[in-house]
């Protein structure tokens, strides 16, 4: 796991740097446009490229269990209902991400054949499409790994004791 954690942290740092670049370029564009009436060339294209560079951070967030969960509806289900909900949700997520990865690879090959570039910057588009496709493929695999963990974790769906008063929970 040590190598995996190092790679995941490196990917996270890369994604944070992409976010910072996107923010700085956008801010520069706004300042140049407002004060000098001379917008920064290629701002939208750079923002798109940097947005794609942030996609690998999704995998890191999932591995660290830092993804967003809204358990309002799920908490109303019983233990078996929660398990079924998680299994179906994880399978759908993994399936959609796998399809996105497959289509991304097809799109990458198509863009390579056409030698497609961003219009203002003349930067090839295929590396960013490939990065997104790989990210979604890895995300799909990690979701399946989380699904296995969910199924094997016997304590995750244990019924939690109900607390009537705040003082009761502290005294116990």
pLDDT (tens place) for every residue of the chain, 172 residues total: 577 778 878 888 999 999 999 999 999 999 999 999 988 888 889 999 999 999 888 888 888 888 777 777 777 887 788 888 889 999 999 999 999 999 999 999 999 999 999 888 899 999 999 999 999 999 999 999 989 988 888 677 666 656 566 555 555 4
User: Could you tell me if residue 172 is inside a domain?
Assistant: no
Packed helices 56-63 and 2-36: angle between N→C axes, nearest 10 degrees: 130
Q: How far apart are CA 120 and CA 47, in angstroms?
A: 13
Single residue among 50, 67, 84 that ends a domain in this structure: 67
By CB atoms closer than 10 A (0-12, 13-18, 19+), residue 163 is: exposed
Range of the domain at 32: 1-67
Q: How far apart are CA 113 and CA 123, in angstroms?
A: 15
For residues 2 and 57, state if they share a domain. yes
pLDDT of residue 64: 81
For residues 53 and 121, state if they share a domain. no
Cβ atoms of residues 29 and 43 within 8 Å: yes
For residues 88 and 148, state if they share a domain. yes
Backbone angles phi, psi at 40, to 5 degrees: -70, 130
Cβ atoms of residues 135 and 55 within 8 Å: yes
Q: Which residues pair with 117 in a beta bridge?
A: 124
**Count of structural domains within the chain:** 2
For residues 14 and 75, state if they share a domain. no
For residues 59 and 73, state if they share a domain. no
For residues 34 and 52, state if they share a domain. yes
């Amino acid at each position: 796991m040590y190598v995996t954690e190092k790679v995941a942290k490196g990917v996270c740092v890369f994604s944070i740097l992409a976010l910072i670049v996107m923010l700085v370029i956008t801010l520069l564009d706004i300042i140049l446009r407002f004060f000098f009436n001379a917008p920064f060339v290629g701002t939208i294209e750079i923002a798109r490229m940097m947005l794609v560079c942030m996609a690998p951070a999704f995998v890191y967030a999932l591995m660290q269990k830092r993804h967003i969960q809204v358990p309002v509806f799920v908490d109303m289900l019983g233990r078996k209902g929660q398990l079924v909900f998680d299994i179906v949700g994880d399978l759908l997520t993994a399936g959609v991400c796998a399809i996105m990865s497959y289509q991304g690879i097809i799109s990458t090959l198509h863009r390579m054949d056409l030698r497609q570039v961003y219009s203002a910057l003349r930067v090839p588009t295929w590396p960013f499409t490939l990065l997104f496709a790989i990210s979604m493929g890895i995300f799909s695999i990690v979701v399946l790994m989380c699904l296995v963990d969910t199924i094997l974790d016997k304590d995750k769906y244990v019924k939690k004791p109900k607390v009537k008063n705040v003082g009761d929970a502290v005294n116990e």
